[in-house]
Amino acid sequence: MNQASNTIEIATQGQGLIEFTDRVARFVAASGIATGLITLFVRHTSASLLIQENAAPAARRDIERYFARIAPESGAYEHDDEGPDDMPAHLRSALTATNLSIPVAGGRMALGTWQGIYLFEHRRIPHRRQVAAHIIGEA
């Protein structure tokens, strides 16, 4: 059994979905693991991870609008230490995922044709986010 780990840094420009499938694919290829499992974990409480449609930009825009509706910025939250987008960012993160597990087969992630891996930035200001990546399996 072999394993490898890495940290993927992602610079955001504010709220939105940032695809980083290609960066994960390069890490998987460099690991030399042909069959196994890759786990991704975002090391923040106001950003999350999604596997989502990567062909139609409208799908991403609809997701972003949906989360803006269900966790709106307002003065109704007690926790607002970093501004009006602080608590909504935590709620959006809680409703999505902070980790993903993806099978690896034939040295590649077993993603579907239209699936991409996204960091979902929930804060309005730019951030540098870290995603811990760990792969385990056999060559």
Tell me the pLDDT tens digit for each residue of 77-133. Answer: 999 888 889 999 999 999 999 999 999 999 999 999 999 999 999 999 999 999 999
User: Quick one: pLDDT at residue 83?
Assistant: 86
CATH code where residue 41 lies: 2.60.120.460
Write out the E strands in the chain: 2-11, 16-19, 35-42, 47-53, 99-105, 108-109, 115-121, 128-138
Percent of the chain, pLDDT > 90? 94
CA distance 12 to 123: 9
**Looking at the 3D structure of the chain, how many domains does it have?**
1
| Residue 75 scores a pLDDT above 80 | no
Domain of 106, in residue numbers: 2-138
User: Quick one: pLDDT at residue 120?
Assistant: 98
